[in-house]
A = this chain, B = another copy of it.
Amino acid sequence: MTSAYDRDLDKNPANYRALTPITFLERAAATFPDHTAIVHGPMRTSYGEFWRRSLQLASALARRGIGRGDTVSVMLSNTPPMLEAHFGVPMVKAVLNTMNTRLDAAIIAFQLDYAEAKVFIVDREFSGVAAEALKLAKVKPLVVDYDDPVYPDDAPYPKGERIGAIDYEALVGEGDAGFAWSMPDDEWDAISLNYTSGTTGNPKGVVFHHRGAALMAYANTIHSGLRQHSVYLWTLPMFHCNGWCFPWTLAVTASTHVCLRWVRAKTMYEAIADEGVTTLCGAPIVMATLLNASDDEKREFSQTVTFNTAAAPPPEAVLAGMADAGFAVTHLYGLTETYGPAVVNEWHGEWDDLDRGARTAKKARQGVRYAALEALSVRDPETMAETPHDGETIGEVMFRGNIVMKGYLKNRQATDEAFAGGWFHSGDLGVMHPDGYIQLKDRSKDIIISGGENISSIEVEDALYKHHAVAACAVVAKPDEKWGETPVAYVEFKPGKHATEAEIIEHCRTLLARFKCPKQVIFAEIPKTSTGKIQKFKLREMAKEA
């Protein structure tokens, strides 16, 4: 039924514009043209320059025929061209595909082909593997070399050597800073493509849209407490779900990007002390790097630095150490499919007064939905019924909202499965607490089913971490004729510490039901990804043989 409010009140160019993060950079550059947008080693780029260079990149791409729906793949470190690509590529309605820089040639080739890449921008550090990949790939993109002045001259791929048709600076130089950039035709149009898994089999190329990127920029600003001219340190790779959308986010407050090619304690402390860093995002391993820095790597600083971390909740000792070192840690959770963090452990002031154990328990929870996420739920994936809010019943964590991906590129089946029943199925298992906070219990593939009982590998790992000798650990399922599966623990010791398998198992029994305790404990180095994530699939393979 229509009312008077449905008549003669239509959309027009004055009252409806496509949401896009590009307008945030336009605004920052117009308002604060001289403010520093990017710090990279000794280089400083103002907001005016950042905007003009993004326009030049867009203009140069347009002249070479790049336009709506074309993929521009990049293999770049956290450097200025990566930031310019986040704006210049969507300015011509093209799609930015940021590649994991640790991939091998075969996977890169696969991803280039799958994305139908028209342009491929490569940092010299990755030229070797990129050149190999290009030999394997069917597509023949325009290859652009980026020779970062901060990258050492000698190795591994020598300075001056080229694999591409043109140098990045020359490409930008072709462009016109007065270029008339394009708003997206529709805010639902794709802005970026991020692969969640390497290759073949069931390729999952997550597609983001302009609408979600813009809303994420607002939500990140609010949840991270960014203000006018905050200073953000890049430790999270921007190739990892577009650096949780922070390349776009910082434009809202005209904040400064401090780039880092490599995550090293000394350079991080230098940036914090010398550039006045206020905010960073990083994996738990970055916290460890900061805390375990030697005295000559550390620097004094007076500001409190907001540290957003995701993945595993930080142990209490780490949190305490970080607080002492001047960092305020916020615990976030999300997936590539949710544009990065979509859940935040909103802290209640009164929780500061809890005793240590209770406080840790609160901090260990992933939390509540981001302001830009419309719903967060834990459900039975079969019946789609909500699990009781009892903090105990395990279900699948599901998302619904404007910061959920468009879907997987050219993979209707995976898309349909992911969105079955009108919710995005995360594949993560968790519980809903009575106060509405969720807590992860496992990835669905990481859960251990022993004698018909579900064992959360996270719960067992939590128990292991309470042993004084354990530095790192991971628990996976080992196939078992009698029980179906049994838990196996992999453990790394702290320097100078040691324990026996029996001692570790006995320790677990003081904390866990007997069936949850590891049947076997293996002392070995645990395989991790370049971003510090433990590779459980490798451990599962190892456990089969163990």
Chain A residues in the interface with B (C-beta under 8 A): 1-17, 19, 23-24, 27, 30-32, 68-70, 95, 116, 188-190, 207, 218-219, 221-222, 225, 227-229, 252-253, 346, 348-349, 368-369, 371, 374-375, 399-402, 404-407, 409-412, 415, 418-419, 422-424, 436
Contact = CB atoms under 8 A, between A and B. Distances in A.
Mostly, the A contact residues are: loop
A411 to B, nearest CB: 8
A1 B415 contact: no
Given A116-B4, A228-B346, A400-B13, A222 B253 contact: yes
Contact of A6 (B69, B368, B412): B69
Nearest to A347: B228
A17 B188 CA distance: 12
A15 B409 contact: no
A418 B13 CA distance: 12
Nearest to A20: B374
A402 B1 contact: no
B14 A409 contact: no
A253 B5 CA distance: 30
A379 to B, nearest CB: 12
A228 B116 CA distance: 44
A121 B460 CA distance: 58
A326 B214 CA distance: 35
Given A400-B14, A424-B15, A436-B30, A9 B207 contact: yes
A419 B8 CA distance: 12
5 contacts: A2-B69, A7-B410, A10-B406, A16-B402, A218-B219
A23 B27 CA distance: 28
Given A190-B9, A222-B253, A410-B4, A14 B399 contact: yes
Contacts of A253: 222
A15 B402 contact: yes
Nearest to A205: B4
Given A14-B422, A218-B218, A406 B9 contact: yes
A368 B424 CA distance: 39
Nearest to A420: B14
B5 A95 contact: yes
Given A5-B207, A9-B190, A222-B252, 10 more contacts: A2-B69, A5-B69, A15-B401, A15-B404, A15-B424, A17-B375, A27-B369, A31-B346, A32-B348, A252-B371
Contacts of A23: 374
Nearest to A69: B3
Nearest to A2: B69
A17 B400 contact: yes
A21 to B, nearest CB: 11
Contacts of A218: 218-219, 222, 371
A8 B70 CA distance: 17
Contacts of A30: 368, 436
A441 B123 CA distance: 51
A423 B15 CA distance: 8
A346 B252 CA distance: 12
A9 B189 CA distance: 10
A401 B368 contact: no
A4 B69 contact: yes
B410 A17 contact: no
A265 to B, nearest CB: 30
A188 B69 CA distance: 27
Indicate the member of A19, A116, A374, A411 with the most B CB atoms within 10 Å. Answer: A374
A249 to B, nearest CB: 11
B368 A407 contact: no
Contacts of A19: 402
A13 to B, nearest CB: 4
Contacts of A436: 30-31
Indicate the member of A27, A219, A410 with the most B CB atoms within 10 Å. Answer: A27
Nearest to A218: B218
A14 B421 CA distance: 8
